Chain A
């Protein structure tokens, strides 16, 4: 009886050991598998599981499709040069909207690093929060423009060059960052100055990626014309087609050229001159870097427009000011920027022509709107 008892216990223990071992192996296999979840009686959980299954299926589909679907332009090459985009920005009503749609464009571009420089003595929470949730690789910098170089209220936008200090700060950071990482690979890159209100097509970024020194292309809606462009003959830039001051050393817009990172690092002193006369900001930077015949024409020998110098209207806040005088302004806790107060009168616009006509009448005796002229 005793031996049978002992045997029984021994077998029980052996059985227990085997069962627990198998259970453990089963648990390890289950790790990372899709949950069957047929036992869930909560419809919400069921939906979530179904969606998750759907999501994983889509992801696998994408991973399979990616090598064949990508157009050749976006095909990944080994050690693809990174595009460093330097964008100066400043606080105003439309800032968040502008940055939002800019980020939506940049999210389509591989190997992109966004250097956003605020015109402010400190980092603003709006931009910090925005960048953190954008999904882009970024660097957040800030530097205030000295007061005498700042545009005052009522000044037309072309009076003083804007963003020079911020772009210089971006260049400074880039040079310092690269200094800390020696090696031929880290010098592979292209630097592009993108303003936050322009419009960029995705093809532009692929065109500029192969820049060896400085590449150029046409820019739409600038210089008082449909587009400005370099004129290319025999694969070289011979002159510039522009309607405003063509005698400038480089009559280009900021959005019309990109510089290779190697050149930026090799010329440590090249920067933008904030005191340069109107329209000479780009020349002040490019003069020390390159000569006209060294320029590389892109966009099919500068015949295609891939970037547009769009500008966004200042939103009309007349009613907001009226409300605020009564102490009933819209809730400022809803994230926004308190911009410069507007004293201009709205013009009749086609969308809400009947709405605006009333206010235009009120504006009969207001001062005339300052006409914007692009350089």
Chain B
């Protein structure tokens, strides 16, 4: 019969090991290991002569922060981040038209987009033919893009070159992009090719956080936009349950969707399942353009508020001044072959 002393010894030996094994895969241990690994990364990057920038955020053991931190800083010297199979594709629709600042606007927009993974830029020109300027620019950036064009009909009665003022600018271009999406993607594959559609004008300013916020859109998500409606920012009103119940605007807050084009994103599935939804071309009152599309897609209660329940401003409706080209004169002082 084994002595009590032996039993005690065996128990004392086995007990700590059983405890260790049961605790092994719990979260208490793995973050410790992750944090260790993180520190190793940091040391590695300092030694590496290419990554000379300092990681400003401290390495935390929380999983999410770990991911965002690394993605943000590691790909600086390459072009577009590699395509991921996990992230939803952001289809960004930008209408553009020829004017002196066009190349500048598209350049800095491209510089922004180059930071966003899984971005597909649908650039639609307001012109009869695709211009060389835009074609070359798109090729040089290395972004994943689709180049379309459609010309808004001109109204020759108004001083020759003006566009038809009854059609708000960019409408036909955005509708063409929607049509292209519906022709390219089929609703049956919507689960294997998740996508979000966003309308980005070429003169606005977007923070990189915005794109990550909109990636989780299930139907239509909304957020505040700065410098619209004559206010510092316009935003949706969100109640304590996290649902949108109104609009915090001064200009006609009774619109069905009192939001700017840059203030919402739509899930691609919704666009494909409602193939009749387009922006209304004519007879649209000022500020009702967005409503003309959204009311066919979703109701107010289905809206998902983003940007910390619509309390942070992540997109600014900046407008670029029209450059004063008085010194060009009638014949043009500068060489027209130089592209600006």
Binding site for B on A (CB under 8 A): 5, 8-9, 12, 16, 19-20, 23, 30-32, 35, 37, 39, 48, 50-52, 54-55, 58-59, 61-62, 65-66, 69-70, 74, 76, 93-94, 96-98, 100-101, 104-105, 107-108, 110-111, 132-133, 135-137, 199-202, 218, 220-227, 229, 241, 243-244, 303-305, 308-313, 315-320, 322-323, 329-330, 332, 334-336, 349-357, 359, 371-374
Contact = CB atoms under 8 A, between A and B. Distances in A.
A227 B286 contact: no
Interface stretch (B100-108, B183-191, B273-281, B294-302): B100-108
B316 A20 contact: no
Interface of B: 3, 6, 9-10, 13, 17, 20, 25, 30, 33, 36-37, 40, 49-50, 52-54, 56-57, 63-64, 66-67, 70-79, 81-82, 84-86, 100-101, 103-105, 107-108, 111-112, 114-115, 165, 168-170, 205-208, 224, 226-227, 229-233, 248, 250-251, 285-287, 311-313, 316-321, 323-328, 332-334, 338-340
Interface-centre pick from A32, A221, A243 (highest chain B CB count, 10 A) = A221
B52 A312 contact: no
A279 to B, nearest CB: 13
20 contacts: A19-B17, A30-B33, A48-B67, A52-B63, A54-B84, A54-B85, A55-B70, A76-B50, A97-B316, A137-B52, A227-B334, A304-B338, A305-B338, A308-B103, A313-B319, A315-B226, A319-B229, A320-B232, A351-B170, A373-B324
Interface-centre pick from B64, B108, B250 (highest chain A CB count, 10 A) = B108
Given A59-B70, A101-B111, A336-B233, 10 more contacts: A107-B76, A132-B56, A133-B56, A221-B325, A226-B325, A243-B328, A309-B323, A334-B224, A336-B226, A373-B326
Contact of B111 (A93, A135, A202, A356): A202
Contacts of B101: 221, 308, 310
A55 B87 CA distance: 11
Nearest to A76: B50
A355 B227 contact: no
Nearest to B323: A221
- Summarize B's interface: helix, strand, loop or mixed: loop
Contacts of A93: 226-227, 232
B13 A76 contact: no
B231 A317 contact: yes
Contacts of B232: 93, 317, 320, 329-330, 332, 334, 336
A87 to B, nearest CB: 15
A31 B37 CA distance: 8
Contact of A108 (B9, B76, B332): B76
Given A50-B86, A66-B78, A199 B105 contact: yes
A76 B326 contact: no
Contacts of B77: 66, 70, 74, 76, 108, 110
A308 to B, nearest CB: 4
Given A62-B74, A374-B323, A352 B340 contact: no
Nearest to B73: A135
A225 B325 contact: yes
Contact of A312 (B13, B63, B313, B318): B318
Contacts of B312: 334
Contacts of A318: 230
Nearest to A198: B104
Contacts of B49: 76
B244 to A, nearest CB: 17
Given A51-B86, A105-B111, A320 B231 contact: yes
Contacts of B75: 62
A336 B52 CA distance: 32
B107 A201 contact: yes
Nearest to B224: A334
Contacts of B40: 32
A100 B33 contact: no
A366 to B, nearest CB: 15
B334 A320 contact: no
B82 A32 contact: no
A39 B320 CA distance: 54
A311 B321 CA distance: 5
B115 A107 contact: yes
Given A221-B340, A312-B318, A12 B9 contact: yes
Contacts of B10: 12
B321 A5 contact: no
Given A65-B78, A94-B227, A354 B286 contact: yes
B82 to A, nearest CB: 5
B89 to A, nearest CB: 15
Contacts of B320: 310-313
